[in-house]
Amino acid sequence: MGPALVILAGTLVTSTFVTEFTFIFGIEALWKTLLRFLVLSLILALPLFLIPVLCSAVKGFLNHGNHQLIQIEKYRDPGVRPLKNWILRPFQGLGLIMLIATKLLALLQIYTRHTIPVDAILPSGHFVLWHFVSTTTTLILASLLLSFIWTLDDLGIRHFDRKTEEVRMIGKYLGLLLPILFGFYGVINLWGNHTLSLAIRYILQEVVILYPPVIFLGVLHGRYLRSREEVLLLRLEAVRGNLLVNEKPVTPSRPREDGGL
């Protein structure tokens, strides 16, 4: 949580004594900034409890025919690491949030047939029902997708084709490249509708506000996996296996049945 606390402290000082860059200024920033961080972190973290349900829902799709989910110990990495949790995954999260937000904005504009300002999907410094609903929807969708992809990655889950004996990473591009690349696509959309300086301001505001909660999600996700790994393996119906030199899985075995519900 180190980088998150640094940015949060910097936001507190800047918002209290310098400028209202994050929509809050003055003494009230001392408690409103912390409250906003807690609320956003809670919204991002709550979908973690839906991961077992999501795993149960997709197991039939991922385990069918010659295809089987398999856990490879070599790729298992549920721990919290600086590069992964401070840089890679926060950028994944921010990119995906940006992507979902711009798509949500486009849908709302089509539905209402009115131009909706971009700042309507950014967390504001005071409670506005419209902002709260749009922000909550965006964060929940992003959290569900990120948490599921991170779960498969951290548990070392791979897709095994019994016919071709190929082992593939699930969501490789979805988990890393798609959020970042299409997040930039969302930025380009902002550039198309607003001046470059205003677009950059919106992006920086989003990064400063959402970076600490996204880091919090990553840390909490790692701890959640360590306590629920057996349950998630059972829900996914994944088997355990080892890898030979030629990267073919062997000796698969079912996870323990005493993992709990």
Higher pLDDT: 249 or 140? It is: 140
Tokens of 48: 């973690």
Cβ 4 vs Cβ 11: under 8 Å: no
From residue 141, alpha-carbon distances to 48, 92, 104, 209, 214 in Å are 12, 14, 11, 18, 13
Higher pLDDT: 145 or 3? It is: 145
pLDDT at 9 over 90: no
- Cα–Cα distance measured from residue 19 to residue 209, given in angstroms and rounded to the nearest whole number: 14
Res 140: pLDDT: 93
Tokens of 38: 């807690």
The alpha carbon of residue 122 and the mean position of all alpha carbons in its chain are separated, in whole angstroms, by 17
pLDDT band at 133 (very low <50, low <70, confident <90, very high): confident
Q: What are the backbone dihedrals phi and psi of residue 105, each rounded to the nearest 5 degrees, phi first?
A: -60, -40
pLDDT band at 114 (very low <50, low <70, confident <90, very high): low
| Residue type present at position 206 | E
pLDDT at 163 over 50: yes
Strands 157-161 and 166-169: antiparallel
Strands 239-243 and 249-253: antiparallel
pLDDT at 115 over 70: no
Q: What is the mean pLDDT of residues 161-187?
A: 66
Higher pLDDT: 255 or 171? It is: 171
> What average pLDDT does the structure give for the chain?
77
Res 184: pLDDT: 60
In the chain, pLDDT over 70 holds for what percent of residues? Answer: 70
Q: What is the DSSP letter of 157?
A: E
pLDDT at 79 over 90: no
pLDDT at 136 over 50: yes
pLDDT at 147 over 80: yes
- Cα–Cα distance measured from residue 11 to residue 21, given in angstroms and rounded to the nearest whole number: 9
pLDDT at 118 over 70: no
From residue 55, alpha-carbon distances to 6, 49, 50, 258 in Å are 35, 11, 9, 18
Q: What is the DSSP letter of 64?
A: -
pLDDT at 188 over 80: no
At 33-77, the pLDDT tens digits run: 888 899 999 999 999 999 999 999 988 888 888 888 888 888 888
Contacts of 34 (CB under 8 A, 6+ apart): 8, 12
pLDDT at 215 over 90: yes
Tokens of 161: 């084709």
Res 259: pLDDT: 45
- Cα–Cα distance measured from residue 36 to residue 20, given in angstroms and rounded to the nearest whole number: 14
pTM of the predicted structure, to 2 decimals: 0.79
